[in-house]
Amino acid sequence: MRLGVLDVGSNTVHLLVVDAHPGARPLPASSHKIELRLAEQLDDEGRISPAAEKSLLRFVESSLRVGEDLGVEEVIGFATSAIRDAPNGEEILARVRQETGVELHVLGGGDEARLTFLAVRRWFGWSAGRLLLLDIGGGSLEIAAGQDELPDVAISLPLGAGRLTRDRLIGDPPASDQVRAARRYVRAEVGRVVRDVVRAGHPDQAVGSSKTFRTLARICSPEETEGHARVLRCADLAEWVPRLAAMSEADRAELPGVSVGRARQILAGALVAEAAMELLGVESLQISPWALREGVILRRLDDLRGTAVPGF
């Protein structure tokens, strides 16, 4: 069957169309997206702005037209931390449902971590052993660890690249005291959960998913060619963090893999990635091509054939 997955993230709103069948690998057929950056379009009370809501509605409507043209049989819609945390999130969901007929299901932070872990587990397979997953979105950092498809620990922290940039890294480039304060804050937040993650056992394979990790891997190792598994090394990242902090957004946008829309946030992403890797004792991460969207697809396919793991 042809599925459309509508992902309302904190950075990007994305319709991914896939040909998906139970027991088979989902095959991407089309991609339609916009960098809306909902995590940054907030007022003083944390409410998503009317302009951002209007853009979201227009995109959902256009996604439905794209899906219809491509023969999509079912649209699965979900939203993450930007909608989840906004005081007017429920109002926006109701308007989307009323005006487009699309039901956007809000995922909790733990759900995000578990579904992303499912996707990473299926990608790397059982031979990877015990996995440790790190995923940096626009609004949150997800950490999950375990040796099965359902992780033993699934944690979500408010350390997304968009959120951290909006709240703590103002300026182009931000002042050095802001960077130091943001670094202290990130490490304190990650430090609170290190014990919980470590108690899940030493990982056989550490994995990073999300656009932020893919971008950081390209920055740190631009010589690695496409088609080969990318790796992000903590030592390389530590060298790049101060360089990113000193760069303007325009200079960052010239780096490999950094889009203009992501240039402002990549420093925050680097601070979070470095903190998580160092505090959890991770020397390097394999970068997973699959993340939350694929986890949602896999979960739906498991539902269709009645093999979903209890606990999701």
Q: Which domain holds residue 94?
A: 2-106
**Distance, C-alpha 21 to centroid of its chain:** 24
Nearest in space to 134 (alpha carbons), one of 156, 149, 150: 156
Q: What are the pLDDT digits (tens) for 153-174?
A: 999 999 999 999 999 999 999 9
Q: Phi and psi dihedrals of 153, rounded to 5?
A: -135, 135
Inter-helix orientation angle 161-168/176-191, to 10°: 130
216 and 244 belong to one structural domain = yes
59 and 185 belong to one structural domain = no
228 and 241 belong to one structural domain = yes
139 and 60 belong to one structural domain = no
Residue 86 lies in a domain: yes
Q: What are the pLDDT digits (tens) for 11-41?
A: 899 999 999 887 788 999 999 999 898 888 8
Q: Phi and psi dihedrals of 20, rounded to 5?
A: -130, 135
148 and 234 belong to one structural domain = yes
Higher pLDDT, 44 or 246: 246
Mean pLDDT in residue range 250-264: 93
First to last CA, the chain: 23
Residue 194 predicted with pLDDT over 60: yes
Residue 282 lies in a domain: yes
| Tokens representing residue 296 in the block | 């949602």
63 and 40 belong to one structural domain = yes
Residue 297 lies in a domain: no
pTM: 0.93
Number of domains the chain is built from: 2
Q: What are the pLDDT digits (tens) for 232-251?
A: 999 999 999 999 999 999 99
* Cα–Cα distance for residue pair 139/216, rounded to 1 Å: 17
Return the CATH number at 125: 3.30.420.150
Mean pLDDT in residue range 94-121: 96
Residue 199 predicted with pLDDT over 80: yes
118 and 78 belong to one structural domain = no
75 and 114 belong to one structural domain = no
* Cα–Cα distance for residue pair 272/11, rounded to 1 Å: 16
Q: Name the band, by pLDDT with cuts 50, 70 and 90, for residue 104.
A: very high
Residue 307 lies in a domain: no
75 and 192 belong to one structural domain = no
**Distance, C-alpha 248 to centroid of its chain:** 24
Residue 229 predicted with pLDDT over 60: yes
205 and 148 belong to one structural domain = yes
Return the CATH number at 10: 3.30.420.40
Higher pLDDT, 226 or 105: 105
119 and 148 belong to one structural domain = yes
Nearest in space to 12 (alpha carbons), one of 257, 265, 311: 265
Measured CA angle at 133 (ends 1, 76), to 5 deg: 25
Residue 227 predicted with pLDDT over 60: no
DSSP conformation letters of 42-64: B-TTSPBPHHHHHHHHHHHHHHH
Q: Please state, as a whole number, how many other Cβ atoms lie within 10 Å of the Cβ of residue 46.
A: 11
Mean pLDDT in residue range 285-306: 92
Q: What is the pLDDT of residue 23?
A: 79
Q: What is the pLDDT of residue 6?
A: 96
Mean pLDDT in residue range 122-138: 96
Percent of the chain with pLDDT over 70: 96
Residue 294 lies in a domain: no
56 and 159 belong to one structural domain = no
Higher pLDDT, 307 or 125: 125
